[in-house]
Structure 1
Amino acid sequence: MVAWGIDYLPDGELAVLTHISLRVFTDEGRLTRHYIGDNLKPVVGGTFWGLSVGKIVYKVAILEGRGRKGMPCIHAYTPEGNDWRVDLYDVCESPRRLCVTGSGGYLVYNEKKKLYSYNGTGDPLWLIDVPDMAMEMCVDHTDRIFVCTDGCLIVYDKGGKLATWLSQTSLYSVAVTGRGQILVGNLLNKEYACRWEHKYHGILSYDSDYKLRGKLLYLFGYSRPQKMAVYKNNRLAVWGDRLMRVYKLE
């Protein structure tokens, strides 16, 4: 199974999106629900590309690369079971990343290195160019936007204005806890790694003011931290190279 998006639901279950389905697991890895069918199914030739769960305005949002009208769209599922579809006419092609903001809006990134912002009904708010190809992105509780590229971590405010950027190499993923701790998955430099590991993959931790705390954990062998999700400051799910791991955060 290849995960194209992971995120925690409010009850602590972990949602995992593949190209064609949504699966929900417990912390012990037990599959509880598997959604695929007429109510959650890409059109012929279409695929799902992103998953994000709104934590303040609760909704489960799924990014579809090509909707019924041939254009990208977002499916937003509410607790009441409503399915709201937002057609993304201006994204046009190759949407790859999705985040739900604190107000219930959406951030969509495409392979043209453009980041689009929408409100909850799909009205466009702003558009910016990202200077490099984004690997992953996330938002925190203040709607700061964190975009990790291969060479740096870029931080924007909720209006799309550049706040800061941190130079780092071989970034894969980013997540932010409710306390503001910034977690970055990457290919660690050797000073952070153990001599006996074949590869130095791991996760670095930064304070909310972007000061490096140090390494949070190592990932053994060749497992790259490609997707991350945090639940209530005490659990961290990491997916990479077909393996899902769940860690307890201290």
Structure 2
Amino acid sequence: MTISNPNSETSAVDDAVLKAASVVRIVDDDEAMRRSYAFMLTMAKWRTKLYPSAEAFLDEDDPEIPGAIILDVRMPRISGLALQDRLSADGNDLPVIFVTGHGDVDMAVRAVKRGAFDFMLKPVDPVRLKKAVTEAIRASWIKANEARRTMDFSGKWALLTQREREVFQLIAEGCLNKEAAFRLNIAERTVKFHRASACRKLGARTPQEIAAIWLALKESVRSSGGA
């Protein structure tokens, strides 16, 4: 059984960009399940991070990194549904894909109404899981992108120095600060300085917003007939 959010969207957002900048969190108290999902997704070039409990996820995860959450429904202490409520209350809008061996239609409908992207019964079909992850993360990026679409980034982009533009583009395309420093042959602290300055000028607060703004800028250039 799988019930998807009817409001989910798809787009031609490049999968390579999504995978470079996103992390799929896997929260399940069953180690074998965690490793199984991670293997499926790693083979599809997704980056993953595994958590044995909701508590571990809350303690260790960085919500500013884009991606999605594969979440088991029934776990000791804090259940998957309780974690979903906690994330919603905290303003964490990472898309959630529930997996469970004990689900029913009522539970699935309730989870989706609370904002879950999808709900699947174990054993999970690998093709379906990979498709759900891709669509969930793409929809999340579209949401961030459309929130920015009405803004005119071209004027703000003109305020950036050439170095700020170079750094911003590399970070938006998935480079870490250290990688950007190597490619530009500058110090990592210099990358951090220009990254902070560019983000301040463009109003980008998270890696997901950086990527969304860069996609909007490229779309603006294409629409205007630029290079």
Which interval holds the TM-score relative to the shorter structure?
under 0.3
What is the TM-score of this pair, normalised by structure 2?
0.27
Higher strand share: 1
TM-score (norm 1): 0.25
Higher relative contact order (CA 8 A, sep 6+): 2
Q: Between Structure 1 and Structure 2, which shows a larger proportion of helix residues?
A: 2
